[in-house]
């Protein structure tokens, strides 16, 4: 079945144009043909999702949790073929993909637990006061309800964890929304394998088939048509600023505008405080040589900007970083386009006023294609402040060190920073408390503040925030990682003076689901 | 000071064009001149708000609560002059405005209590697991933080409760955001009086002055410039679809797009089930004659659409409604423009295919200007289904009765309904449970479902949802009434492995503020 579009959990035949996948490290064509989805496929997928929504939106929470867990099991059951195909298509090493698979199934189970526990619906109850003067108070009960069909765009840099059954799909299904996935054309085989796992889970659980569709396209037509479809209620995307904003624009131009959650990347500033450098300049350089080049730098949390005040210790940091970057083995990038773009941008940046190359890897693997060589450049804060172009993300194993003359100039740089997914501070013990102005400013431009760590490696948990002020994401009020990602796909609905037996179980007087509810400002299971 | 713009809690002199207010019931000019704010006023107000944000965003919760309570006290201290001016400017009766004043101060105190209790920040904590394999788990703590300066547009139909110190201002200040109010030009004197109360509260509490500004404009220039200002982070608006969508567009065209919360009205369908009509047709007619004409129908929750299946009981309902509407005294509308528009639209609708006038009030008050006569029209479901124009809101004491031939046709009408703030069902005992398809559909198009009540009269409480699917509002995920309205102005921020003493009090290990926090899926004060 691999290669066929999946419409409402069923494989369909296409006669449209087809395409194949390539092993990015060798350039060789891989097995299976994939078919660009037709306008009919799109319409049927969305309409089936709309119909499924009428059932799935009020499905029993245990069944929904089992569905998510079954998807995880079905993915695990695919075995080595999945990791191997993902590695061929993405160029990512097997070890990384094995870890990513664990993250993917872990996310599905996290949302299963969230759904089964049930309190995530944020039930709020204000009981009636019939005797209140001058007017009686009605009984009002409110909870989150799902928006409807969600379109998920697979991301190139996480072929498992942010693709067909990744965090977006898991959180949308957890919210109670049917999902239509637009597969990323760089890893269609991986997408097809995971899509098959979801189809089997839908069948095993006896769910309405329209709860899942998977459509392929080597271009942009299918994605644009999905976003424009009147019955689609929300869209998720992880990728470039240009791609994200194009979808945002399409969604706003609809007769009924819908939310798009676009995670568009970030340069994730890392501020190296002076005492930290005095204490452990070389250790920090080691840590960051690793973070900058992890996964060929292809993370939205890649530390693309290092910021420090000039000092002898900073020179030690630079020397160590230069040495380490030089020997980082080249790595296969996700696609030829991403690789070309990285090579072009990491060269072009050196032509900008005051930017100088610090170090570039000379460990090229000649035997493989689409190789990225890690590189680090340096610029003065004065030049950085004068050139907004230096804040643009260069997707790959790259970072720019900005050297300030003093704390005042460092604060000036922080003041011009655009919105970021993360900001990290490397600090000595008791040093951080001397920088309250800096910290105060950072809270306005960041989604996550990290102390003495690295931004890469995003913990999947309830407290995670992966979403920052524009342009890191288009809507900083939501996260795409962690259990609160579910709130992207719901809205509140209130029932006033409703009959108890017709209320959703979450709101019934007896609290039959035994969930936490906010009654008179008290979270309790009463 | 009345009439002067307030920039950063200080009255400023203007030399720009000025305007006066009119008593809408008499057409007479009222005391005081008001000055259109200048570009300089706008820029200074927003920049002062930005500066104030750095302090106000982390202000002590007790001080913030006291500020909100002091605003309420200062408004109450204004005395009769406020209600009298509001009545002259808006045409609303004194009794209604006395009630609205109570709602306004009540809202301020509701948010003061919310802020003082403190759990609203949704603190979520995942503690570190340094021993976890293969990677240690970091300590992550997340809470809601304020977005920054908010622009509030005063609404014409609530000169107190949705104007200068109304629900939007109260919730934005509670969230920790400075507020710049664009006064509604229909009630500038009322706005100035309330603005003075806020200025006194800012002074008494010793808050940064930039936390509040109030700007006047008889046109649209000031509002547009405020929405376009790069340092403004969110906008609230209650009014027409056209006005709301114009602001949404401006906000999206900015270099950094910002959220707009536009509550754009609704026709608030009321479904009269057959057994309910059999039981109490005349009683329901009485209730609805009152709800349709309350406040001259100038509520976003006005029941503009009545929906029923033809029956002898429905005829009883019609007969009674016709008699009651005929004798409803005419009422002064908010502005000459609103009155003209009401007269025009309530006439034009009668020219649409199949629409017939059922009843119009003949109790005109000749002695007053800008009078609205209540009216009710009727149309068959067949004609309604064929004409989307009949779903457009007619702002005023008007409702359209749609008569279906049978349940199937009633469901067809429900299926074409656009997004609504509210939907109401009038039902006999045990009747509602026979309409599960209907109820299932209604949950997708409504923000609040009401049983055997009226949509007018929106309870201000934690469980209230006042916001429905597009076009009722542009973002159904938020509410403009009730304590959760505060969430319009915040976003999550996570701290990873942060030093405890530098965390906000809400996230410190010892929970010094004694708030509910979600730790390992448990809401507790631990």
- Torsion from C-alpha of B36, B38, B39, B40, nearest 10 degrees: -150
Q: Which of B140, B447, B491 sits opposite A459 (nearest CB)?
A: B140
Model confidence pLDDT, tens digit, residues B157-175: 999 999 999 999 999 999 9
Q: Is B84 helix (H, G, I), strand (E, B) or coil?
A: helix
Three-state DSSP at A147 gives coil
Longest dimension (CA), chain A: 83
CA distance B91 to chain A (A): 23
A123 CA to chain B: closest CA distance, Å?
A: 8
Query: Angle formed by the axes of helices A39-56 and B436-445, to 10°?
Result: 110
Q: Closest-CA residue in chain B for A428?
A: B499
pLDDT at A453 over 80: yes
A275: contact with B, CB 8 A cutoff: no
**pLDDT, tens only, A295-313:** 999 999 999 999 999 999 9
CB contact under 8 A, A256 and B432: no
Tell me whether A378 touches chain B (CB under 8 Å): no
d(CA A21, CA B513): 56
Q: Which residues in chain B are closer than 8 Å to A57, comparing Cβ atoms?
A: 443
Residue B184 · residue B153 · CB < 8 Å: yes
- Written as one string, the DSSP assignment of B346-405 is HHHGGGSTT-EEEEE--B--TTSSSEE--EEEEEEHHHHHT-GGGGS---SSEEEEEEES
pLDDT tens string B469-490:
999 999 999 999 999 999 999 9
Q: Which of A284, A288, A314 is nearest to A406 (CA)?
A: A314
**Best B100, B445, B492 residue to mutate vs chain A (most A CBs within 10 Å):** B492
**What does the pLDDT read at residue B2?**
81
Beta strands in B219-298 (DSSP E): 234-238, 260-263, 269-272
Which residues have a Cβ under 8 Å from the Cβ of B215 and sit 6 or more positions away? Answer: B5, B6, B7, B37, B41, B42, B45, B180, B181, B182, B183, B222, B226
Across the beta sheet with B179-182, the strand order is: B10-11, B6-7, B212-215, B179-182, B150-153, B234-238, B260-263
Query: Are B396 and B297 within 8 A, CB to CB?
Result: yes
Tell me the nearest-neighbour CA distance from B442 into chain A, angstroms: 11
> Would the pLDDT of A521 be above 80?
no
**Looking up tokens 């406020």, which residue turns up?**
B82
- Closest chain B residue to the Cα of A491, Cα to Cα: B477
CA angle B188, B189, B194 (to 5 degrees): 95
Residues of B with CB below 8 A from A450's CB? Answer: 496-497
Rounded CA-CA distance A217/A36 in Å is 4
Alpha helices, DSSP H only, in B91-240? 94-117, 167-175, 188-205, 221-228
Kindly indicate the confidence band of residue B523, based on its pLDDT and cuts at 50, 70 and 90.
Answer: confident
Do residues A486 and A111 lie in contact, with contact meaning Cβ atoms separated by under 8 Å? yes
Measure the CA–CA gap between B42 and B59, rounded to whole angstroms: 25
- Cβ-based burial of B251 (10 A; exposed 0-12, middle 13-18, buried ≥19): buried
pTM of the complete model: 0.97
A234-238/A260-263 β-pairing: parallel
Q: Give me the interface pTM, i.e. the ipTM.
A: 0.97
- A102 to A86, A173, A185, B305: CA distances (angstroms): 14, 19, 23, 53
Q: How much is the mean pLDDT over chain B?
A: 97
Closest CA to A495 of B300, B270, B425: B425
For A492, the closest of B142, B479, B524 (CB atoms) is B479
For residue B512 the two structure tokens come to: 């010094």
Q: What is the band of B17 on the pLDDT scale with cuts at 50, 70, 90?
A: confident
Query: Rounded mean pLDDT of B68-81?
Result: 97
Interfacial B residues in 497-516 facing A (CB < 8 Å): 497-499, 501-502, 516
Residue A484 in contact with partner chain B when CB distance is under 8 A: yes
Cis peptide bond N-terminal to B134, omega within 30: yes
CB proximity A517 to B under 8 Å: no
Distances (CA, A) of B305 to B35, B267, B272: 41, 6, 11
My answer on whether omega of the bond before B354 falls inside 30° of 0, hence cis, is no
**Angstroms from A72 CA to nearest CA on chain B:** 20
Q: Are strands B490-496 and B140-146 parallel, antiparallel or unpaired?
A: antiparallel
**Confidence band (pLDDT; 50, 70, 90) for B235?**
very high
Query: Within its chain, how far is the Cα of A259 from the centroid?
Result: 16
Counting one residue from A and one from B, how many pairs have CB atoms under 8 Å apart? Answer: 191
Q: What is the mean pLDDT of residues A366-388?
A: 97
Instruction: Kindly state whether A463 is in contact with chain B, defined as any CB-CB distance less than 8 angstroms.
Output: yes
- With a CB-CB cutoff of 8 Å, which residues 88-107 of chain B face chain A? 99
Q: Given phi > 0 = left and psi -120 to 50 = alpha, else beta, which region is B499?
A: beta
Q: What is the pLDDT of residues A209-225, one digit of tens each?
A: 999 999 999 999 999 99
- Is the CB of A146 inside 8 Å of chain B's CB atoms? no
**Catalytic positions of B:** 263, 300
DSSP lists the bridge partners of residue A517 as: A524
Judged by a CB distance cut-off of 8 A, whether residue B279 touches chain A is no
Q: How many separate helices (H) and strands (E) can be counted in chain A?
A: 14, 23
B350/A contact by beta carbon, under 8 A: no
Judge whether B495 is closer than 8 Å to chain A, CB to CB. Answer: yes
Rounded CA separation B374/B297 (Å): 8
SS3 A449: strand
Q: Which of A274, A280, A358, A283 is nearest to A311 (CA)?
A: A274
- Taking contacts as CB-CB distances below 8 angstroms, the residues of chain B near A443 are 57, 145, 493
CA-based nearest residue in chain B for residue A129? B459
Partner A contacted by B463 (CB < 8 A): yes
Report residue A49's pLDDT band, with 50, 70 and 90 as the boundaries.
very high
Contact predicate A466/A480, CB 8 Å: yes
Q: Mark yes or no for CB contact B449/A494 under 8 Å.
A: yes
Q: What is the mean pLDDT of residues A427-441?
A: 94
Q: Write the Ramachandran bin of B7: left for phi over 0, alpha for psi from -120 to 50, otherwise beta.
A: beta
Partners of residue B443 in chain A, C-beta under 8 Å: 57, 145, 493
**CB < 8 Å & 24+ apart, contacts of B320-323:** B320/B281, B320/B282, B320/B285, B320/B286, B320/B289, B321/B285, B321/B288, B321/B289, B321/B358, B321/B359, B321/B376, B321/B401, B322/B358, B322/B359, B322/B376, B323/B359
Is the separation of the CB atoms in A345 and A394 below 8 Å? yes
- Out of A263, A339, A393, A506, the active site residue is A263
Q: Identify the three-state secondary structure at position A375.
A: strand
Inspect the interface and report whether the beta carbons of B448 and A494 lie closer than 8 Å: yes
Exposed, middle or buried: residue B299 (CB in 10 Å: 0-12, 13-18, 19+)? buried
- Both tokens of A118, joined, read 């049930």
Please check whether residue A124 touches B, CB under 8 A. yes
Closest approach of chain A CAs to the CA of B449, in angstroms? 5
User: Nearest C-alpha of chain A: how many angstroms from B142?
Assistant: 5
Q: Where are the beta strands (DSSP E) in A131-259?
A: 140-146, 150-153, 179-182, 212-215, 234-238
Residues 30-89 of A with CB under 8 A from B: 53-54, 57-58
Helix (H, G, I), strand (E, B) or coil at B331: strand
Q: Compute the nearest-CA separation of A492 from chain B (Å).
A: 6
Tell me if chain B has a CB within 8 Å of the CB of A459: yes
Predicted confidence (pLDDT) at residue A69 exceeds the cutoff of 90: yes
- Closest to A2 measured CA to CA, from A78, A95, A73: A78
Instruction: Evaluate whether A451 touches A425 at the Cβ level (below 8 Å).
Output: yes
Q: How close B362 comes to chain A (CA, Å)?
A: 30
| Cα–Cα dist B462/B261, whole Å | 19
Q: Provide the pairing of β-strand A375-380 with A398-404.
A: parallel
Check pLDDT > 90 for residue A134: no
pLDDT of residue A112: 98
Given A89, A100, A300, A393, the catalytic residue: A300
Q: Which residue in chain B has the smallest CA separation from A439?
A: B502
Is A457 close to B498, i.e. CB distance below 8 A? no
User: In Å, what is the CA distance from A161 to each residue of A79, A259, A447, A483?
Assistant: 16, 22, 20, 14
pLDDT given for residue B281 in this prediction: 98
Average pLDDT score over residue span A327-346: 97
Which residues between 400 and 419 in chain A have a beta carbon less than 8 angstroms from any beta carbon of chain B?
419
Give the SS3 label for residue A234: strand
Residues A481, A458 contacting (CB under 8 angstroms): yes
Nearest CA among A124, A144, A133, A5 for reference residue A61: A144
Q: Which of B462, B474, B490 sits opposite A518 (nearest CB)?
A: B462
- Is residue A300 part of the annotated active site? The answer reads yes
Which residue from B206, B172, B213 is spatially nearest to B192, judged by alpha carbons? Answer: B213
Q: Does B518 sit within 8 Å of A257, measured CB to CB?
A: no
pLDDT at position B265 is 82
Residues comprising chain A, all counted = 526
Closest CA to B384 of B407, B406, B414: B414
Residues B235/B228, Cβ–Cβ less than 8 Å: no
Partnered with residue A306 across adjacent β-strands are A270, A401
Mutation site, B247, B411, B477, interface A, largest A CB count within 10 A: B477
Q: How far apart are CA B474 and CA B444, in angstroms?
A: 15
pLDDT digits (tens, 9 = 90+) for B34-65: 999 999 999 999 999 999 999 999 999 999 99
User: Using a CB-CB distance cutoff of 8 angstroms, which residues of chain B are in contact with residue A496?
Assistant: 448-451, 453, 459
SS3 B30: coil
pLDDT (average), residues B69-98: 97
Distance from CA of A345 to the nearest CA of B (A): 23
* Residues on chain A touching B273 (C-beta within 8 angstroms): none
Q: List CB contacts (< 8 A) between A498 and chain B.
A: 449, 451
Please tell me whether the peptide bond between A283 and the residue prior to it is cis, using omega within 30 degrees of 0. no
Give the tens place of pLDDT for each residue, A135-151. Answer: 899 999 999 999 999 99
Question: Dihedral of the CA atoms A14, A17, A21, A24 (nearest 10)?
Answer: -160
Chain-chain contact of B475 with A54 (C-beta, under 8 angstroms): no
What pLDDT was estimated at residue B520? 81
């Amino acid at each position: 079945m691999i290669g066929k579009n999946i419409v409402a959990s069923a494989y369909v035949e296409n006669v449209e144009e087809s395409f194949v996948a390539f092993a990015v490290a060798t350039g060789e064509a891989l097995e299976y043909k994939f078919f660009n989805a037709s306008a009919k496929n799109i319409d049927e997928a969305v309409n089936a999702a709309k119909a499924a929504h009428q059932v799935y939106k009020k499905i029993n929470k245990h069944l929904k949790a089992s569905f998510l867990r079954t998807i995880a099991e079905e993915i695990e059951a695919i075995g080595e073929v999945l990791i191997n195909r993902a590695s061929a298509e993405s160029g990512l090493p097997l070890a990384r993909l094995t870890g990513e698979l664990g993250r993917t199934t872990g996310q599905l189970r996290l949302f299963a637990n969230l759904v089964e526990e049930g309190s995530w619906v944020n039930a709020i109850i204000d009981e009636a006061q019939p005797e209140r003067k001058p007017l009686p108070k009605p009984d009002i009960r409110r909870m989150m309800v799902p928006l409807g069909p969600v379109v998920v765009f697979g991301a190139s840099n996480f072929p498992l964890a942010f693709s067909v059954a990744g965090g977006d799909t898991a959180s949308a299904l957890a919210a109670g929304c049917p999902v239509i996935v637009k597969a990323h054309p760089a890893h269609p085989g991986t997408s097809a394998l995971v899509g098959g796992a979801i189809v089997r889970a839908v069948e095993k659980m006896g769910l309405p088939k329209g709860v899942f569709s998977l459509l392929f396209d080597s271009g942009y037509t299918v994605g644009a048509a999905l976003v424009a479809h009147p019955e689609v209620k929300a869209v998720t995307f992880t990728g470039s600023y240009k791609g994200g904003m194009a979808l945002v624009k399409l969604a706003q131009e609809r007769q009924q505008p819908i939310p798009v959650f676009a995670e568009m990347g970030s340069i994730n500033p890392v501020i190296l405080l002076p005492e930290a450098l005095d204490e452990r300049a070389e250790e920090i350089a080691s840590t960051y040589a690793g973070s900058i080049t992890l996964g060929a730098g292809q993370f939205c949390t890649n530390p693309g900007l290092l910021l420090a005040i000039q000092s002898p210790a900073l020179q030690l940091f630079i020397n160590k970083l230069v040495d380490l970057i030089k020997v980082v083995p080249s790595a296969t990038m996700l696609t030829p386009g991403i690789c070309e773009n990285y090579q072009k941008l990491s060269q072009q940046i050196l032509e900008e006023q005051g930017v100088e190359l610090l170090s570039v890897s000379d460990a090229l693997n000649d035997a493989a294609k689409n190789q990225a060589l890690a590189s680090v450049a340096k610029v003065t804060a004065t030049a950085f402040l004068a050139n907004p172009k230096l804040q643009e993300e260069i997707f790959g194993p790259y970072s720019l060190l900005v050297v300030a003359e003093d704390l005042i100039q460092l604060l000036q740089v922080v003041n011009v920073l655009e919105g970021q997914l993360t900001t990290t501070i490397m600090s000595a013990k008791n040093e951080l408390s001397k920088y309250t102005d800096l910290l105060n400013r950072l809270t306005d431009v960041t989604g996550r503040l990290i102390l003495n760590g690295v931004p890469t490696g995003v913990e999947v948990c309830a407290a995670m925030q992966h979403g920052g002020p524009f342009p890191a994401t288009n809507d900083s009020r939501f996260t795409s990682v962690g259990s609160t990602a579910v709130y992207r796909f719901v809205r509140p609905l209130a029932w006033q003076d409703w009959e108890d037996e017709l209320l959703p179980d979450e709101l019934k007087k007896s609290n039959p689901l035994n969930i936490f509810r906010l009654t008179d400002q008290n979270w309790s299971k009463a």
